[in-house]
């Protein structure tokens, strides 16, 4: 059993371009073969392998008629692989096994609306069941237990859009039985018998209260609580299979989240693992007992460390035999077989089977075999300093023209793309990254920064961003640019900013608040108006609202209104003077399309050129490969004009997608021509 300790809740410019001549790409780049966009952003050949609990089946996601679907095969004979689903439009991006190994479960939405429905497909017959056939709801999986084979616990918000009632789902029949009506709690935790044991509820101060649950009734008084400062770094994780021990990710009394075991009879807690530099990110739990066996703390790079001697030899063997980092993605109930995702950074990710008994590793497949032998380049982990001394773990990828030996030190400056992660309560990580590889192949240095507010580095790092949208969080990005210029990575006039979600906000903030710093910007689903962003959050984020207000600004206080006004790029749109490209999903429930519409309208009203591309069948980001490829085609030609890198022609990519160019096709190089009949 593998548990992810933290999942972010919110867990991806053309005024100057019209007059700016195209810049010739650096001659040395021409020596490096161009990697086709489709190889980087098209459908993977196979991805997301999962082994069934009984060890008989292997499942994965792969294209069927051009759309990602679920496939399965007997582990003993993968040549017998067959597709199990036939989704024609929205790709299926992941799955998980029922505890009896008979059903492969998955969730999917329509057009990116995040109204997720739970489905199950019988592996033997191929019959698909719709388990939550409700309109405008989103399902949550609350508990799956290896001890209870015939049912799981799920949450569905079909009664009250704000809260998920707990239901038992009988896998064979699809019958839903109400277990607990949710009267205002954010989440629940069950034991291995599928008995609800804990409930969580947000407080008005942004903190969290934890309640015991007995006989499906929540106790009136909280038995434990945390304030705002610990709210993203302290949470209950799960019980041992005997129900006697509760595991926590725990930052109370320390900065970073430790892995803590609490004996429920005595109440005594024991710290099992901690790292002063980073939160414990992942933990491995024995599928037979539920006891913690290993953990992973991800500072610069993730690496497993054993707690239980029973897995110490296995982890040592894997570290010795595997070239690159690895993640244990699934395990059999007998714990005799593990599936691994192996990431060598300069090669596509591959999936491996580890037989613990035979101490044998077998490669199953490579996710993108078409990238084997491609001129992929290393990623380098850095520790950068903000102006106030805050350490920011960052990742730099250099094109071969600037770093022929792959040392991580630029031999000469090249244009750079500052690539900003979303969230902001998320983080950048070390490993193969399709955007880093793509942009580096086009001739750009790529820098990703874990600015203040990024998760994984302790609660102080998160709290340093409170009420700092568009201020110290933005200063961190400016400080990273300054480092890159001073280190010879790039020059001050050749830096673009690009990102999605919060990263898109950072793009808009960068161009509006510091209009002369960036040569251009690419915003994907970025909020422009923090008032309307907060007003439009989905109803099932009700539990998270108070924390949003305290970390961003409260829209109902005079002080909060003033802050949100100042930090919203929309109200400084008149200051934008550098090229801007915007991509938006029409069905985005997190960053409503109005966020992009508003700033485009403001720029149009002032005759400030902007290119605006909308995808009517997408939501918060672009899931369909034709759409992602089309927007990236526009993006790389846009960047080539602004920065001087190289680009693959747009060709027929836009027409092959659902893209609607709602404004400014004439401002993006090659786009107007690509739209011609």
| Residue 592 CB-density burial (10 A; 0-12 exposed, 13-18 middle, 19+ buried) | buried
Closest residue by Cα to residue 435 from 446, 426, 425? 446
What contacts 70, CB < 8 A, 6 or more positions away? Answer: 59, 60, 61, 83, 84, 85, 92, 95, 104, 106, 121
CB 586 within 8 A of CB 616: yes
Rounded Cα distance between 343 and 322, Å, is: 9
| Residue 301: how many other CB atoms lie within 10 Å | 15
Which tokens hold the place of 405? Answer: 């030996």
> What secondary structure does DSSP assign to 221-246, as a single string?
S-SEEE-GGGTTT-EEEEE-TTS-EE
Please pick, among 501, 528, 572, 657, the residue that the annotation labels catalytic.
Answer: 501
CB 92 within 8 A of CB 85: yes
620 catalytically annotated:
yes
Strand, helix or coil for residue 287 = coil
3-state helix, strand, coil in the chain (%, to 5): 20, 30, 45
Buried b (16+ CB within 10 A) or exposed e, 396-412: bbbbbbbbeeeeeebee
Please pick, among 466, 475, 479, 588, the residue that the annotation labels catalytic.
Answer: 588
CB 294 within 8 A of CB 306: yes
Radius of gyration of the chain (CA): 25
Closest residue by Cα to residue 660 from 627, 635, 620? 627
| Residue 312: how many other CB atoms lie within 10 Å | 15
588 catalytically annotated:
yes
CB 213 within 8 A of CB 188: yes
Torsion angle (degrees, nearest 10) of CA 560, 562, 563, 565: 120
CB 344 within 8 A of CB 324: yes
230 catalytically annotated:
no
What contacts 462, CB < 8 A, 6 or more positions away? Answer: 232, 233, 425, 452, 453, 454, 455
Name beta bridge partners: 446. Answer: 397, 417
Work out whether strand 495-500 and strand 416-420 pair parallel, antiparallel, or are unpaired: parallel
CB 308 within 8 A of CB 293: yes
CB 321 within 8 A of CB 361: yes
Rounded Cα distance between 281 and 261, Å, is: 16
Please pick, among 350, 620, 657, 663, the residue that the annotation labels catalytic.
Answer: 620
- The number of residues making up the chain comes to 677
Torsion angle (degrees, nearest 10) of CA 285, 286, 289, 295: -30
Closest residue by Cα to residue 212 from 191, 181, 240? 191
Angle between helices 434-441 and 625-643 (to 10 degrees): 40
Rounded Cα distance between 421 and 498, Å, is: 9
Name beta bridge partners: 211. Answer: 199
Which tokens hold the place of 366? Answer: 């490579």
> What secondary structure does DSSP assign to 97-127, as a single string?
E-TTSSEEEEEE-STT----EEEEEETTT--
Buried b (16+ CB within 10 A) or exposed e, 314-329: bbeebeeebeebbbbb
Closest residue by Cα to residue 458 from 250, 260, 296? 250
Catalytic residues: 501, 588, 620
């Amino acid at each position: 059993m593998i548990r992810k300790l933290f999942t972010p809740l919110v867990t991806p410019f053309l005024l100057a371009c019209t007059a700016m001549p195209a810049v010739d790409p650096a001659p040395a780049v021409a020596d490096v073969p161009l990697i086709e966009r489709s190889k980087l952003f098209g459908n993977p050949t196979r991805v997301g392998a999962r082994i069934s609990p009984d060890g008989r089946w292997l499942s994965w996601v792969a294209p069927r008629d051009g759309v990602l679907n679920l496939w399965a095969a007997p582990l003993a004979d993968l040549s017998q692989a067959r597709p199990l689903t036939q989704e024609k439009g929205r790709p299926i991006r992941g799955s998980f096994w029922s505890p009896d190994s008979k059903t492969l479960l998955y969730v999917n939405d329509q057009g990116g609306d995040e109204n997720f429905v739970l489905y199950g497909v019988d592996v033997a017959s191929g019959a698909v069941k719709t388990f939550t056939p409700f309109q405008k709801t989103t399902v949550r999986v609350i508990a799956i237990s290896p001890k209870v084979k015939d049912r799981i616990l799920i949450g569905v918000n079909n009664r009250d859009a704000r809260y998920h009632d707990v239901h038992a789902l009988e896998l064979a029949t699809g019958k839903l039985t109400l277990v607990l009506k949710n009267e205002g709690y954010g989440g629940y935790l069950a034991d291995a018998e599928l008995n609800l044991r804990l409930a969580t509820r947000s407080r008005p101060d942004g903190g969290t209260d934890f309640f015991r649950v007995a006989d499906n009734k929540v106790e009136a008084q909280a038995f434990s609580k945390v304030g705002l400062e610990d709210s993203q770094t302290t949470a209950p994780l799960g019980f041992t299979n005997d129900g006697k021990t509760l595991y926590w990710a725990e930052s109370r009394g320390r900065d970073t989240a430790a892995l803590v075991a609490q004996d429920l009879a005595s109440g005594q807690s024991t710290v099992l693992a901690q790292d002063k530099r980073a939160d414990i990110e992942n933990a491995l739990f024995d599928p037979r007992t539920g006891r913690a066996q290993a953990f992973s703390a991800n500072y610069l790079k993730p690496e497993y460390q054993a707690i239980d001697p029973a897995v110490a030899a296995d982890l040592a063997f894997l570290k010795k035999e595997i070239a690159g980092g690895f993640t244990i993605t699934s395990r059999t109930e007998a714990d005799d077989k593990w599936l691994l995702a192996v990431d060598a950074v300069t090669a596509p990710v591959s999936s491996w089977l580890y037989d613990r008994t035979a101490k044998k590793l077998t490669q199953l497949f490579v996710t993108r075999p078409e990238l084997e032998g491609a001129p992929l380049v290393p990623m380098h982990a850095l520790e950068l300093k903000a102006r106030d001394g805050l350490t920011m773990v960052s990742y730099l990828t250099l094109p071969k023209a600037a770093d022929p030996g792959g040392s991580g030190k630029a031999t000469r400056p090249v244009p750079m793309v500052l690539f900003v992660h979303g969230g902001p309560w998320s983080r950048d990580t070390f490993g193969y990254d399709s955007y880093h590889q793509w942009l580096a192949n086009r001739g750009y240095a790529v820098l990703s920064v874990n600015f203040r507010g990024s998760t994984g580095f302790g609660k102080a790092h998160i709290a340093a961003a409170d009420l700092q949208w568009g201020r110290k969080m933005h200063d961190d990005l400016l400080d990273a640019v300054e480092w890159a210029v001073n280190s010879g990575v790039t020059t001050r006039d050749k830096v673009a900013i690009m990102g999605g979600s919060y990263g898109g906000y950072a793009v808009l903030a960068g161009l509006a608040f510091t209009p002369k710093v960036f040569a251009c910007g690419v915003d994907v689903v970025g909020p422009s108006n923090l008032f309307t962003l907060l007003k439009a959050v989905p109803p099932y984020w009700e539990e998270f609202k108070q924390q949003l207000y305290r970390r961003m600004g409260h829209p109902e206080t005079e002080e909060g209104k003033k802050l949100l006004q100042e930090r919203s790029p929309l109200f400084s749109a008149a200051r934008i003077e550098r090229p801007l490209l915007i991509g938006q999903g029409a069905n985005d429930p997190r960053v409503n399309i109005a966020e992009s519409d508003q700033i485009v309208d403001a720029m149009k009203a002032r005759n400030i050129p902007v290119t605006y591309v909308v995808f009517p069948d997408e939501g918060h980001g672009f899931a369909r490969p034709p759409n992602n490829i089309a927007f990236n085609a526009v993006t790389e030609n846009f960047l080539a004009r602004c920065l001087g890198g190289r680009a693959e022609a747009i060709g027929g990519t836009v027409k092959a997608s659902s893209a609607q160019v709602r404004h400014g096709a004439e401002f993006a190089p090659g786009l107007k021509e690509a739209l011609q009949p």
